[in-house]
């Protein structure tokens, strides 16, 4: 079969696979078991060795599959199967039914990131037919959109099983450009419990909103302190860790002292030491200044901070086998940075060199009429074909 015809046939098949994947309503809150079981069946039929692991509820699954020899090394192709909700978005068509128009493939998750997964599934039989010197691994996770919980569990399993690939390619949308850095993303909720009372007697109550506001002010002070801690020659913009109080809620009416308040806030660290700095400083402020004052009025007053998610950043390094591999495959002569978080830093944190490279633009993700350009999907398939050829030749990644 002529190469051009084979390429077009492969792309059309990939779009069919993408349509099947988009049809699964794998919003994080609803679980991803059905789509993951479908993927496991497809990979098993292609000859992959597949294992899955559920979360505590059983409604969500991680999947890990291997094609090629049973030996160390190889390359992980990584993606997440969950998508963000479509509630309150106005779509031009059914978001869970793939629609093609003007070279664009519309549907929830096409860009973020079922397009990449569809490309991996399309190429799986091709990988299986090659005389690979090292394996290709496929890792598909749950709950990336709400805290990378699936990837945290999966990377722990890889360590426990002694699986140590030589590189990981995370197919988040990057317009098929290699990305070797992004900040971490840590999310927290601080709960403040005071004592209700009549607004005319403020000294008899403990105003939870007042103390939540004090915490916001302290976070503002810490935000300024983080600027002075910026590492020299930090490549990120801005070049320091940041803090953002995202939501403060508490109280009911004007004349009641609010007894409870909730503060949601995030930090995007450029270095792990900044996380410890902020946590220790905030705890010291709460323990030394706020709680003594609150408990002088109400002994059961409390301030508690819950970790929602702490996702490691992808730190640019001088040596990065994954970045160099993708640059060779795509012809890029440099790698960039992105402002959004991914699962890449989690793979890097267990010693696997990692890079982001996937089809589509992040500007199209999470919005109504999310789309993936047809030519981006073609570029992704070409990169994966090149990867297979490289791993079947003497250029072994181990």
The yes-or-no verdict on residue 215 having pLDDT over 70 is yes
* Domain limits for position 353: 3-182+314-392
Q: Has this prediction a pTM greater than 0.75?
A: yes
Q: In which band, very low, low, confident or very high, does the pLDDT at 3 lie, cut at 50, 70 and 90?
A: confident
With tokens 């709950």, the residue in question is 143
In-domain check, residue 146:
yes
136-146: pLDDT as tens digits: 999 999 999 99
Distance CA 118, CA 122 (A): 6
Given 285, 311, 337, the domain boundary residue is: 311
Q: How far apart are CA 293 and CA 36, in angstroms?
A: 52
Q: How confident is the model at residue 179, as a pLDDT? A: 98
Structure confidence at residue 343 (pLDDT): 97
Residue 250 lies in a domain: yes
> In which band, very low, low, confident or very high, does the pLDDT at 395 lie, cut at 50, 70 and 90?
low
Q: What CATH number has the domain bearing residue 293?
A: 3.30.70.360
Q: To which residue do tokens 């939870």 refer? A: 208
Residue 355 shares a structural domain with residue 306: no
For residue 6, pLDDT over 90 is answered with: no
Give the N- to C-terminal CA distance of the chain in Å, as an integer: 33
Sheet of 260-268: strand order equals 242-250, 260-268, 185-193, 302-311
Catalytic residue among 82, 112, 180, 385: 82
pLDDT, residue 115, reads: 98
Residue 398 pLDDT more than 90? no
Within 10 A of 238 (CB to CB), how many other CB atoms are there?
13
% of residues, the chain, pLDDT over 90: 95
Last residue of a domain, one of 311, 340, 362: 311
CB 266 within 8 A of CB 187: yes
In a shared domain, residues 14 and 150 = yes
Which of 254, 281, 311 represents a domain boundary (last residue)? 311
3-state secondary structure the chain: CCHHHHHHHHHHHHHHHHHHHHCCCCEHHHCCHHHHHHHHHHHHHCCCEEEEEECCCCCCEEEEEEECCCCCCCEEEEEECCECCCCCCCCCCCCCCCEEECCEEECCCHHHHHHHHHHHHHHHHHHHHCCCCCCEEEEEECCCCCCCHHHHHHHHHHHHHCCCCCEEEECCCCCCCCEEEECCEEEEEEEEECECEECCCHHHCECHHHHHHHHHHHHHHHHHHHHHCCCCCCCCCCCCCEEEEEEEEECCCCCEECCEEEEEEEEECCCHHHHHHHHHHHHHHHHHHHHHHHHCCCCCCEEEEEEEEEECCECCCCCCHHHHHHHHHHCCCCCEECCCCCCHHHHHHCCCCEEECCCCCHHHCCCCCCEEEHHHHHHHHHHHHHHHHHHHCCCCCC
d(CA 75, CA 352): 10
Residues 7 and 132 reside in one and the same domain = yes
pLDDT bin (cut points 50, 70, 90) of residue 1 is low
Number of domains in the chain: 2
For the question of residue 324 being annotated catalytic, the response is no
Same domain for 176 and 267?
no
pLDDT tens per residue across span 110-136:
999 999 999 999 999 999 999 999 999
Given 144, 274, 370, 385, the catalytic residue: 144
Residues 279 and 384 in one domain: no
In this predicted structure, the answer to whether residue 278 has a pLDDT above a threshold of 80 is: yes
The pair of three-digit structure tokens given for residue 235, joined into one six-digit string: 């490549």
Mark whether 82 is an active-site residue: yes
Res 5: pLDDT: 72
Q: What is the pLDDT of residue 4?
A: 73
Residue 398 lies in a domain: no
Q: In terms of C-beta density within 10 A (0-12 exposed, 13-18 middle, 19 or more buried), how is residue 336 classed?
A: middle
The pLDDT value given to residue 174: 98
pLDDT of residue 394: 66
308-335 mean pLDDT: 95
Does residue 118 lie in a domain region? yes
Does residue 189 sit in the same domain as residue 172? no
| Mean local confidence (pLDDT), 227-232 | 94
Q: List CB contacts of 226: < 8 A, sequence separation 6 or more.
A: 240, 241, 242, 243, 274, 277, 278
Distance between CA 95 and CA 54 in Å, rounded? 27
Over the stretch 176-208, which tens digit does the pLDDT of each residue have?
Answer: 999 999 999 999 999 999 999 999 999 999 999
Same domain, residue pair 15 and 107: yes
Residue 381 forms part of a structural domain = yes
Same domain, 40 and 61: yes
Mean pLDDT of the chain: 96
């Amino acid at each position: 079969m002529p190469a051009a015809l084979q390429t077009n046939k492969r792309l059309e098949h990939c779009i069919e696979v993408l349509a099947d994947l988009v049809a699964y309503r794998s919003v994080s809150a609803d679980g991803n078991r059905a789509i993951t079981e479908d993927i496991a069946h497809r990979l098993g039929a292609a000859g992959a060795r597949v294992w899955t692991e559920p979360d505590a509820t059983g409604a969500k699954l991680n999947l890990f599959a291997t094609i090629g020899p049973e030996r160390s090394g190889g390359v992980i192709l990584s993606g997440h199967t969950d998508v963000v909700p479509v509630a309150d978005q106005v779509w031009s068509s059914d978001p869970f039914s793939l629609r093609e128009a003007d070279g664009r493939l519309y549907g929830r998750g096409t860009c973020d990131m079922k397009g990449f997964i569809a490309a991996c599934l399309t190429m799986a039989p091709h990988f299986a037919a090659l005389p690979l010197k090292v394996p290709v691994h496929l890792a598909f996770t749950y709950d990336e959109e709400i805290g990378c919980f699936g990837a945290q569990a999966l990377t722990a399993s890889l360590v426990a099983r002694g699986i140590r690939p030589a590189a990981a390619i995370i197919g988040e949308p990057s317009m098929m450009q290699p990305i070797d850095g992004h900040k971490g993303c840590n999310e927290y909720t601080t709960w403040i419990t005071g004592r209700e009372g009549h607004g005319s007697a403020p000294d008899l109550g403990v105003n939870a909103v007042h103390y939540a506001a004090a915490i916001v002010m302290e976070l503002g002070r810490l935000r300024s302190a983080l600027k002075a801690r910026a590492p020299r020659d930090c490549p990120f913009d801005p070049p320091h860790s940041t803090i953002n109080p995202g939501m403060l809620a508490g109280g009911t009416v004007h004349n009641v002292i609010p007894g409870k308040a909730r503060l949601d806030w995030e930090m995007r660290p450029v270095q792990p030491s900044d996380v410890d700095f902020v946590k220790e400083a905030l705890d010291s402020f709460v323990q030394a200044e706020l709680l003594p004052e609150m408990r002088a009025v109400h002994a059961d007053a409390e301030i508690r901070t819950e970790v929602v998610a702490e996702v490691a950043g992808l730190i640019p390094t001088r040596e990065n086998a994954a970045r160099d591999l993708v640059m060779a495959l795509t012809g890029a002569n440099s790698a960039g940075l992105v402002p959004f978080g991914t699962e890449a830093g989690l793979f890097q944190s267990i010693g696997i060199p990692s890079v982001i490279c996937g089809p589509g633009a992040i500007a199209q993700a999470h919005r109504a009429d999310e789309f993936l350009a047809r030519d981006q999907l073609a570029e992704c398939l070409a990169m994966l074909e090149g990867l297979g050829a490289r791993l079947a030749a003497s250029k072994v990644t181990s």
